[in-house]
Amino acid sequence: MELVIIILSIILIILVLLQSNKAGGASMAITGGTESLFANRKERGSELFITRMTIVVGTIFFLLCLYMGF
């Protein structure tokens, strides 16, 4: 079971690193930048797939950690 947790954690780290930077708005607010052109951009294609896979793998990881804790 520990091996499954290790593999899932590595996959989760990779998926999070592959996601696009969505925190640019906060840094622009601090520095005074006006990059509002892409503020309402929707995820499509591989971006949407990576986001959904991150949610699925994160949920499975969380549930397995809870199961191992009991």
Q: What pTM, to 2 d.p., does this model score?
A: 0.70
Q: How confident is the model at residue 43 (pLDDT cuts 50, 70, 90)?
A: confident
Task: Count how many domains the chain has.
Answer: 1
Its domain, for residue 25, covers 2-69
* Position 12 confidence tier, pLDDT thresholds 50, 70, 90: very high
Say what the pLDDT of residue 70 is. 85
Q: How far apart are CA 20 and CA 33, in angstroms?
A: 19
Checking 55-59 for CB contacts under 8 A at 24+ apart, the result is 57/8, 57/11, 57/12, 57/15, 58/12
Comparing 33 with 52, the larger pLDDT belongs to 52
